[in-house]
A and B are shown apart, each in its own frame.
Chain A
Amino acid sequence: QLQLQESGPGLVKPSETLSITCSVSGGSINSPTYYWGWIRQPPGRGLDWIGIISYSGRTYYNPSLKSRVTISVDTSKNQFSLRLTSVTAADTAVYYCARQRRLTGGGTDFDCWGQGTLVTVSS
């Protein structure tokens, strides 16, 4: 059974860089069938798509964050990571990693999610 687990600091200071890693177990990240993504949810609010990466390193980012975000993959460790620079209080959120699958017949969805990790931006 596939499992995803986020790990990272719970507290980041304003203007610094947020870094979170997602460890994948029960399956290989090294598959052309899937992308691996990050979604965040500010406290009490809705879901925001951050971006995705393939096993080969191809990325797609939300233009609203593109200048500050980097997603990378380490297939040897079966992990992928999120890096967000110059954070502000507006970046305070629960950050989820998730698997995006390509569906037979077309379409896609996020079918497997980590439990999420709360990152607070505060001095």
Chain B
Amino acid sequence: DIQMTQSPSSVSASVGDRVTITCRASQVISRWLVWYQQKPGRAPKVLIYAATTLQSGVPSRFSGSGSGTDFTLTISSLQPEDFATYYCQQADSFPYTFGQGTKLDIK
């Protein structure tokens, strides 16, 4: 199985801050990487697919980069509604696997 490792596991930040979350795959996955946002008690929601493509309706302050094994999710200016847990998922090969999550909370 491809292991997905996110860092940090948690981060505290303030409204307006720029935040970067990284995701590393244990083997090359090309650009087949998805980022999800999950709020408490809710299902995950797609933010970014194919490593860099913004899902329709997602604010442009979210962006993704990377290919191969190393990927990043950047939120350029945090808004109150962005405090949530973020997961990466590799969509290169079965079984699909997720990172352990990064919890973003208010400083």
Contact = CB atoms under 8 A, between A and B. Distances in A.
A105 B53 CA distance: 11
Interface string A6-26: 000000000000000000000
Interface residues of B, number: 24
B43 A47 contact: no
Contact of A110 (B42, B44, B50, B94): B44
Given A46-B101, A47-B87, A114-B43, A109 B49 contact: yes
A49 B43 contact: no
A62 B96 CA distance: 8
A107 interface: yes
B80 interface: no
B91 A64 contact: no
B44 A49 contact: no
A46 B99 contact: yes
Interface of B: 1, 31-32, 34, 36, 42-46, 49-50, 55, 87, 89, 91, 94-101
Q: Which 6 A-B pairs have the closest CB atoms?
A: A113-B43, A107-B50, A62-B95, A49-B96, A47-B98, A109-B34
23 contacts: A46-B98, A46-B99, A47-B98, A48-B98, A49-B89, A49-B98, A60-B94, A62-B94, A63-B1, A98-B43, A106-B50, A107-B31, A107-B50, A107-B91, A108-B91, A109-B49, A110-B34, A110-B36, A111-B55, A113-B45, A114-B43, A115-B42, A116-B43
